[in-house]
Amino acid sequence: MTEGSVHIAPMGRGITMKLLRRSGIVAIVGLTLLSGTTLVRADVITDWTQTAIDVMKAVNVAGNPWTRSLAMMQVSMSDSVNAVEDRYARFTPGIAADPNASAEAAAAAAAREILMRQYPGQKARIDAAFAAMLEKVPDSPARAAGIALGEKVAGAVFTDRQNDQTNVPDTYRPLTRPGAWVPTTSPAFSQYAAAKPWGMKAANQFRPAAPPKLSSALYARDYNETKEFGGLKSVKRTDAQSDAVRFWTQGNLFVAWYRAAEQISARKGLGLADNARLFALLSMGIANCYILDWDAKFTYQFWRPLTAIRNGDQDGNDATERDAGWLPLNATPMHPEYPSQAGINAGTAMRILESVFGTGPESFTVTDVADVRLQRRFDSPAQMAEEHKEVRVWGGIHFRNSLNVGEAMGRKLGDYLLANYLKPVR
């Protein structure tokens, strides 16, 4: 490629983008430079979703707590809207209906209350978003009633989640023996393995069977695939695949499913109650992923490729050759490998989106949370889900079986929520 040139580098799934900086020249490969994020039809649900994303970015909240916060907000908004419109069942028991209230005001007040209780340092940002809502909803008894209703619903949701065991002290104990070295960085949010899920019977409800035996052919297949494609110095991974790995940071993996939902729902013209339900189910599902998956991860405590490949001579499998200096392209996450978080997220989100929009083609664009010039476009949620799985192999942090098992778990989780919660009432 010449300096400053632009070319399309097809990947088969999705479209890749690459920034090249040579002699001060920036070239975009695969997609055109955009001046801002993708425009979608905004409503109170998507507006506050973006506000929550901005608030949590400002205070550096990520991972499991990010999903918990968004679930609390989205469930509060859905319950508030349906206390007015009575289109879908409410998740929180004991919420009295108020058909004379403003549904928009109720949803906004619920979102504000949840965010303010968790992130009071972001008061100015939250108040600005609320003031923007007040400009759209005329001052009236309905607005006042909606605000009171939303605050009440949010208070009930927030109070309920104070007993969800996510804030208990971290008591994870590394499995070791005297004299043996173990990583000295604490694992990420190990207490979520015993947390209270959203609407599930227990965190182990869909716990999968154990990972494949180290001596198995399946393990050898996955070991060698990740070793060859996921290594820092891999000669089999293409530039396009490497670009995809670098795009899909944890922050983008979270936000991507909400971007898909926003754009498809806007194109379909979903109403307020429908959108509130969709985003509540999506947020409940993803929050549950970070509980159910953590239960399985810390039950099996399966090793990551970095450990496995550097100790390939210790696994009892003649088909796995050790590479003492192997490093992954991605930094290894601080939690066990099996099953994959990207996999379970993909399975859950796909199932919920498919329940509303079907399985046909639905295009959308995901914009990088840190750089609006970087985007990836997809023709369906399933296409993006497949890429989310692939990049965990190409990045050297997962084995393929773990991704497939995670996706199957996620679909079961999504089916359970759809069969039991926020169901149509009329």
Tell me what pLDDT residue 384 has: 97
If one compares 131 and 3, the residue with the highest pLDDT of the two is 131
φ/ψ region of 410 (left if φ > 0, alpha if ψ in -120 to 50, else beta) reads alpha
* Rounded percentage of the chain residues whose pLDDT exceeds 70: 88
In the three-class reduction of DSSP (H, G, I as helix; E, B as strand; rest coil), residue 134 is classed as: helix
pLDDT at residue 379 tops 90: yes
- 173 confidence band (pLDDT: 50, 70, 90): confident
Q: Are 91 and 78 in contact (CB under 8 A)?
A: yes
**Could you tell me which residues come within 8 angstroms of residue 154 by beta carbon, excluding any fewer than 6 positions away?**
72, 73, 76, 80, 109, 110, 111, 112, 113, 114, 117
Q: What is the mean pLDDT of residues 194-206?
A: 89
Q: Are 75 and 405 in contact (CB under 8 A)?
A: no
Helix (H) or strand (E) holding 165: none
> Identity (one letter) of the amino acid at 285?
G
How much is the pTM? 0.85
Among residues 46, 74, 128, 176, the alpha carbon closest in space to that of 421 is found at 74
pLDDT tens string 309-357 = 999 999 999 999 999 999 999 999 989 999 999 999 999 999 999 999 9
Among residues 413, 372, 417, the alpha carbon closest in space to that of 35 is found at 372
Task: Give the pair of three-digit tokens for residue 241.
Answer: 């695949």
**Which phi and psi angles does 25 have, rounded to 5°?**
-100, 135
